[in-house]
Structure 1
Amino acid sequence: MNTPTPDSYFTRMYADTADPWDLAGRWYEQRKYALTLAVLPRRRYRRAFEPGCSVGVLTRLLADRCDRVLATDRVPRAVAAAAERNRDLPHVEVEHMVVPDAWPSGTFDLVVLSELLYYFDDAQLARIMRRTAESLEPGGTLVTVHWNHPVPEHRLTGSELTPLLHAEAGLVAGPGFHDPDFVLHTFTRPLPDGSLPRSAAEAEGLV
């Protein structure tokens, strides 16, 4: 089935609770976020983009590693919750935005697509990946994380998304993590000369 998840699903999920997936409370989520942050190759990023931020739990963790973070979601109630969670962080901006029809201006050296891509049809998914690649700075990092069990509202699992992500032009696959419950990937946009940024060890003169 090649149809996107309807907006009514998200509205219904947030109708009775501010955090429908218990992102702030579950150990599963805490561990997944820790692995997401650990796999990032750079200690610090200039500007990050996190579409589909939900209630902003990962947003706050990203803020510790980034000079600026733009977090967005399609559900107004989620946007309000994320803004409230991060209101003491002036370098975090939370906006209502429906990707891929809307996309922020400027470029990013980190894009985080977490629990997002399986909600879109083929055309929308292709546009998101294309816009991500175009807005990612040379040497920048893309990290993707997706649940790997079938869900009626998810068009694809994390494993089924994998070949589509690896096929995106202009991005080079890096380290990842295949958990029984989710699939995590990193990608890098090459530098203008076609090379990749130095590894963490190389950057600190260890090799």
Structure 2
Amino acid sequence: MTRPKTPDAYFDAMYRGTEDPWALAERWYERRKYDLTVAALPRPRYRRAFEPGCSVGELTRRLAGRCDDVLACDRVGSAVDTARRRTRDLANVEVRRMLLPEEWPEGTFDLIVLSELLYYLDGTTFDRLLERTLTSLEPGGTLVTVHWDHPVPEHLTTGSGVAERLAERPGLALLADHREEDFVLQVHRGPRPDGRPAPSVAAGEGLV
């Protein structure tokens, strides 16, 4: 990832004239991917989730069903407006306009979801955003990444490339690695203060 991050003009152009340029609410591919993302969460419930790059809020709505509070953000004002409208019936969701990683929310989160975001970032920005992510992730918290795995001119890498970068990061424990022809979905656990591995979902239920 050596090229500069994708220019802001690209995102502004994508949303110009349409509120949902990727048809995230309509395509079965997207709806299925979002459902798989939520199904992969290892805990039944989360206290506070952060979803950077939320676009029009379709994944946000699903996360709200598993979290006490969800903070979602996007850099494009029209996307934020749409996400707010689509989540206005959900009292536990807040949507902000933020420029990441320069701007970052206060506090910590036990769930952070990076969906269709990291492949837009050059190497330096990728590292900065990941560093801020891990600083905000509570000990033993859940980090989910899901990314399109085909080359795209505006993408600086692919889902597989993102997975390779995350594998180099010390302290992250890979809990789930779901790969299809079109996307890569991974679930990581952040470092635990005692250094012990987290039990599997089955072990946590006393099945193992």
Taking structure 1 as the reference length, the TM-score comes to 0.97
Tell me, in whole angstroms, the C-alpha distance in 2 between the residues paired with 1:161 and 1:192: 26
The aligned length equals: 207
Contact 1:190 1:197 in 2 (8 A): no
Tell me, what secondary structure is at the counterpart of 1:67? strand
Contact 1:133 1:170 in 2 (8 A): no
Tell me, in whole angstroms, the C-alpha distance in 1 between the residues paired with 2:148 and 2:32: 13
Counterparts of 1:54-65 in structure 2, within 5 Å, are 54-65=55-66
- Report the residue type matching 1:142 in the other structure: L
Contact 1:171 1:188 in 2 (8 A): yes
Tell me, in whole angstroms, the C-alpha distance in 1 between the residues paired with 2:103 and 2:136: 13
Counterparts of 1:1-207 in structure 2, within 5 Å, are 1-207=2-208
Tell me, in whole angstroms, the C-alpha distance in 1 between the residues paired with 2:197 and 2:25: 35
Tell me, in whole angstroms, the C-alpha distance in 2 between the residues paired with 1:12 and 1:190: 39
Show CA shifts across 1:22-80 (max 9, x none): 00000000111111111110010000000000000000000000000000000000000
Contact 1:51 1:72 in 2 (8 A): yes
Tell me, in whole angstroms, the C-alpha distance in 2 between the residues paired with 1:98 and 1:168: 24
Q: Which runs of 4+ in 1 moved over 6 A?
A: none
- Report the residue type matching 1:17 in the other structure: T
- Report the residue type matching 1:100 in the other structure: P
Q: CA deviation at 1:204?
A: 1.9
Gaps of 5+ in 1: none
Taking structure 2 as the reference length, the TM-score comes to 0.97
Q: CA deviation at 1:198?
A: 2.5
- Percent identical residues: 59
